[in-house]
């Protein structure tokens, strides 16, 4: 049984195809700009079985592009032992599977789960280790090792990078992201995501103060700025937004 927050049957965000997304509960990161603070806790008890997941996916199969099913929000790897049989069942029924992850865990169970995964969406929250710890309260060492591992396995993956004005949109950090990408053999695309302020209202509901209330939401021009910087170093065709 997976501990989940919710699911979406017709997702078109941050991805080129229509897909069904299951948002799992629990995350070890404490990102200052987290858009879903209500999903962080692992104490929520809302469970769903692999059979129920398969039934829901079959119901939506006509609308899901090529049968894509994604597990997200935000560390689906926290429930990796429970996720493995779900991924196996979906693959046995000819669905495509995707993991949207921070790459926080890399162990034998994760490597087993990746055998039944068609695509991975790993995040780079912040490339500089010290700043990553300040923004997420965690190290980025395993997250980068995770990307290196799926790259070595020649898996399909897109790296995701959240563009936060005044924080992650500077040339120094973006160049470091490119330098990391240059160490990869099977890099395909980097997906630039807009930072938004939806979490402000969610934090109020949870009686928590929003630490980045002084930062505005990212606009198209913020994405274009980062794209122009990245284009100095890599093929623009590998940049999605």
> Averaged over 96-110, what is the pLDDT?
95
- Write the pLDDT tens digit of every residue in 11-46: 877 676 788 999 999 988 888 877 777 788 877 779
> Averaged over 65-77, what is the pLDDT?
87
What is the model's pLDDT at position 201?
72
CA 205 – CA 16 distance, rounded (Å): 32
Q: What is the pTM of this model?
A: 0.92
Q: Two tokens at 190?
A: 């980097």
Contact of 152 with 46, CB cutoff 8 Å: no
Q: Give all domains of the chain, ordered by start, each with its CATH number.
A: 2-240 (3.20.20.70)
- Write the pLDDT tens digit of every residue in 176-227: 999 999 999 999 999 999 988 876 777 666 667 777 778 899 999 999 999 9
Q: Two tokens at 61?
A: 């199969």
> Averaged over 84-96, what is the pLDDT?
96
| Cα separations in angstroms, 173 against 21, 97, 134, 229, 232 | 31, 31, 15, 10, 14
Please calculate the CA angle 202-27-32 and round it to the nearest 5 degrees.
Answer: 50
Tell how far CA 210 is from the center of its chain. 21
Smallest CA-to-CA distance from 220 within 187, 189, 195, 185 is with 195
Is 80 exceeded by the pLDDT of residue 110?
yes
> Averaged over 140-150, what is the pLDDT?
96
What is the model's pLDDT at position 207?
61
3-state secondary structure of 230: helix
Q: What is the chain's mean pLDDT, rounded?
A: 90
What is the model's pLDDT at position 14?
63
């Amino acid at each position: 049984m997976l501990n989940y927050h919710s699911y979406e049957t017709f997702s078109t965000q941050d991805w080129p195809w229509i897909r069904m997304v299951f948002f799992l509960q629990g995350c070890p990161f404490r990102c200052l700009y987290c858009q879903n603070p209500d999903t962080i806790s692992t104490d929520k008890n809302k469970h769903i079985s692999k059979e129920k997941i398969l039934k829901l996916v079959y119901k939506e199969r006509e609308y899901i592009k090529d049968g894509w099913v994604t597990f997200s929000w935000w560390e689906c790897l926290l429930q990796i032992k429970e996720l493995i049989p779900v991924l196996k069942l979906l693959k046995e029924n000819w669905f495509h599977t995707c993991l949207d992850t921070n790459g926080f865990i890399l162990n034998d169970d994760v490597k087993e789960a990746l055998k039944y995964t068609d695509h991975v969406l790993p995040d780079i929250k912040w490339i500089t280790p010290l700043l990553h710890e300040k923004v997420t309260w965690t190290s980025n060492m395993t997250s980068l090792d995770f990307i290196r591992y799926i790259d070595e396995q020649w898996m399909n993956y897109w790296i995701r990078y959240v563009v936060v004005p005044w924080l992650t949109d500077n040339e120094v950090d973006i160049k470091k992201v490119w330098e990391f990408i240059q160490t990869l053999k099977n890099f395909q695309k980097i997906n630039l995501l807009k930072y938004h302020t939806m979490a402000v209202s969610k934090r109020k509901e949870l009686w928590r103060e929003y630490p980045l209330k002084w930062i505005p939401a990212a606009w198209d021009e913020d994405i274009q700025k980062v794209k122009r910087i990245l284009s100095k170093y890599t093929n623009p065709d590998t940049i999605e937004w």
